[in-house]
C-alpha cells in the first residue's frame, strides 16, 4: 500500500504503488490511497485503516515529502497515526528516504521530524554523494527470509561501501543541519510570497523545494529563462524542483535564488 503522489521508483511495481505513470497496466494487489494537497488527512487515514482491515497488507510505503507531487507532507500527527495503525495491524511501515535521507531536509532522516520510527528505511542518492548506491535498513528484530538468495549482481559492492563511508565521514565533519538551515533561510528570504498562504505554490524543507506553476508551458519557459541566466533547475510537468547541494557556495545560492525570484515573478505576472 502506498500514498497517491508519492514516488518510489520507475519500475512497474513501484510506479503502480504510488505514482500514476498513466501506462494503463494493472498491477494486482497494490493499493494506492488518496493523499496530498486537497485530501483531508482524516480521509487518508480512514482509507488506510479500511485497507489494513482486510488483513492482506504486507507493508505501507511512505515518501515523507512528495518530491514529485507538489512537495506535499502531512502533519507530524498524521504520520504518528499511520505508525499506530501499522503497529495495530502488524503491517511494516516503510519510509522511502531516497530523496530526503542524509540531511537533505536537515536531520539525517525525515522520519525524525515526524517523531516516529519506521520498520524499514530505503535510502540512496546523497549517501553516495553521486556514486550509484542504495540500501535498505531493517529493524533488527525483523527476520529476513532464509529463502532469500545470498547476493545479487550489484549488492555488497566494496567500492560503493567505501563511497558511503567517505560520504558519511564528510557529512559528520560538516555540521549538515546548520548548512541546510542556512540554505532554507536563503530560499525563504528570496521567495517569501511562494511559501505564504493556505495553498502555497512552494512546499518543502531545508534543501528540497517544489514550486508549482500554473501550466507545464510556464514551467518550461521558466526553466529555459533560468538556463539563460546560468541557473540549472529540474522540472516535471508544471513543477520545478530545487535540490541545491549541501556544500553550495552561499554566494551562488543567493544568485540562483534571486534569478529564480525574477523569472517566476515574470512568469506569474504574464500568466495572470
Ligand atoms: C523518493 C524516491 N524513491 C525512490 C527512487 C528510486 O527510483 P529509481 O530507482 O527508479 O530511479 C527515487 C528516484 O528518483 C526517489 O526520488
DSSP string over 102-139: TTTTSSSSTHHHHT---SEEEE-GGGGTTS---EEEE-
Ligand 1 centroid from CA 36, angstroms: 19
Q: What confidence tier does 272 reach under pLDDT thresholds 50, 70, 90?
A: low
- Quick one: which of 143, 109, 7, 108 has its CA closest to 62? 7
CA 186 to chain centre: 20
CA distances, 145 to each of 14, 141, 154, 226, 267 (Å) = 21, 12, 20, 50, 53
CB atoms under 10 Å from CB of 28, counted, come to 5
96 vs 149, more confident: 96
User: What percentage of the chain reaches a pLDDT higher than 70?
Assistant: 98
93 pairs with which residues across the strands?
A: 60
User: What percentage of the chain reaches a pLDDT higher than 90?
Assistant: 80
Ramachandran sector of residue 28 (left: φ over 0; alpha: ψ -120 to 50; beta: rest) = beta
DSSP state of 262: H
**Span 138-158, mean pLDDT?**
82
149 vs 14, more confident: 14
Residue of 99, 104, 134 to test ligand 1 pocket, by largest number of atoms within 8 Å of CB? 99
- Quick one: which of 193, 254, 256 has its CA closest to 223? 256
Ligand 1, atom 14: closest residue by C-alpha: 9
Helix (H, G, I), strand (E, B) or coil at 61: strand
Q: What confidence tier does 145 reach under pLDDT thresholds 50, 70, 90?
A: confident
241 pairs with which residues across the strands?
A: 210, 234
Measured CA to CA, the distance from residue 40 to residue 256 in angstroms comes to 35
**Digit-coded pLDDT (tens) for 67-78:** 999 999 999 999
**Digit-coded pLDDT (tens) for 90-142:** 999 999 999 999 999 999 999 999 999 999 999 999 999 999 999 999 999 99
**Digit-coded pLDDT (tens) for 30-46:** 999 999 999 999 999 99
Given strand 59-62, what is the order of strands in its sheet?
32-33, 2-3, 59-62, 92-96, 120-123, 135-138
**Residue 74: what pLDDT?**
97
In the predicted structure, residue 15 carries a pLDDT above the cut 70: yes
254-261 CB contacts, 8 Å cutoff, 24+ apart: 254/186, 254/190, 255/231, 256/231, 257/186, 257/187, 257/189, 257/190, 257/191, 258/190, 259/226, 259/229, 259/230, 259/231, 260/190, 260/191, 260/211, 260/226, 260/231, 260/233, 261/190, 261/191
Residue of 98, 99, 243 to test ligand 1 pocket, by largest number of atoms within 8 Å of CB? 98
**Digit-coded pLDDT (tens) for 156-195:** 899 999 999 999 999 999 999 999 999 999 999 999 988 8
Residue of 10, 65, 239, 241 to test ligand 1 pocket, by largest number of atoms within 8 Å of CB? 10
**Residue 197: what pLDDT?**
78
What is the position in ligand 1's atom list of the atom closest to the CA of 68?
A: 16
**Residue 148: what pLDDT?**
67
105 vs 265, more confident: 105
> Is residue 9 lining ligand 1, measured as CB closer than 6 Å?
yes
**Residue 243: what pLDDT?**
96
> Is residue 96 lining ligand 1, measured as CB closer than 6 Å?
yes
**Residue 49: what pLDDT?**
98
> Is residue 63 lining ligand 1, measured as CB closer than 6 Å?
yes
Measured CA to CA, the distance from residue 154 to residue 128 in angstroms comes to 14
Measured CA to CA, the distance from residue 196 to residue 193 in angstroms comes to 5
In the predicted structure, residue 11 carries a pLDDT above the cut 90: no
In the predicted structure, residue 151 carries a pLDDT above the cut 70: yes
123 pairs with which residues across the strands?
A: 135
**Residue 14: what pLDDT?**
87
> Is residue 99 lining ligand 1, measured as CB closer than 6 Å?
yes
Q: What confidence tier does 155 reach under pLDDT thresholds 50, 70, 90?
A: confident
Instruction: Give the 3-state DSSP-derived string for 203-218, with helices as H, strands as E and coil as C.
Output: EEECCEEEEECCCHHH
What is the position in ligand 1's atom list of the atom closest to the CA of 97?
A: 1
Beta strands, E only, 133-215: 135-138, 202-205, 208-212
Ligand 1 centroid from CA 220, angstroms: 22
Measured CA to CA, the distance from residue 250 to residue 140 in angstroms comes to 40
Q: What confidence tier does 16 reach under pLDDT thresholds 50, 70, 90?
A: confident
**Residue 13: what pLDDT?**
85
Query: What φ, ψ does residue 206 adopt, rounded to 5°?
Result: 60, -115
Amino acid at each position: 500500500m502506498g500514498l497517491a503522489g508519492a514516488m518510489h521508483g520507475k519500475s512497474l511495481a513501484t510506479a503502480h504503488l504510488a505514482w500514476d505513470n498513466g501506462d494503463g497496466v494493472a498491477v494486482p494487489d497494490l493499493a494506492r490511497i488518496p493523499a496530498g494537497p486537497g485530501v483531508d488527512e482524516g480521509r487518508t487515514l480512514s482509507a488506510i485503516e479500511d485497507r489494513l482491515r482486510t488483513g492482506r497488507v504486507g507493508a505501507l510505503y511512505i515518501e515523507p515529502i512528495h518530491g514529485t507531487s507538489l512537495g506535499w507532507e502531512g502533519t507530524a500527527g498524521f504520520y504518528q497515526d499511520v505508525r499506530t495503525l501499522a503497529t495495530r495491524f502488524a503491517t511494516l511501515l516503510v519510509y522511502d528516504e531516497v530523496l530526503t535521507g542524509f540531511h537533505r531536509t536537515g536531520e539525517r532522516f525525515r522520519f525524525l521530524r515526524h517523531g516516529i520510527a519506521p520498520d524499514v528505511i530505503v535510502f540512496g542518492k546523497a549517501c553516495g554523494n553521486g556514486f550509484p548506491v542504495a540500501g535498505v535498513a531493517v529493524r533488527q528484530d525483523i527476520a529476513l527470509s532464509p529463502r532469500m538468495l545470498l547476493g545479487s549482481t550489484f549488492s555488497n559492492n566494496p567500492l560503493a561501501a567505501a563511497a558511503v563511508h567517505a560520504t558519511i565521514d564528510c557529512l559528520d565533519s560538516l555540521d549538515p543541519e546548520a548548512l541546510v538551515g542556512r540554505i532554507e533561510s536563503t530560499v525563504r528570504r528570496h521567495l517569501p510570497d511562494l511559501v505564504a498562504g493556505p495553498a502555497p505554490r512552494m512546499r518543502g524543507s531545508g534543501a528540497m523545494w517544489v514550486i508549482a506553476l500554473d501550466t507545464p508551458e510556464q514551467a518550461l519557459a521558466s526553466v529555459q529563462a533560468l538556463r539563460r541566466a546560468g541557473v540549472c533547475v529540474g522540472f516535471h510537468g508544471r513543477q520545478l524542483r530545487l535540490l541545491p547541494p549541501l556544500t553550495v557556495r552561499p554566494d551562488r545560492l543567493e544568485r540562483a535564488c534571486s534569478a529564480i525570484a525574477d523569472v517566476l515573478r515574470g512568469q506569474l505576472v504574464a500568466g495572470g
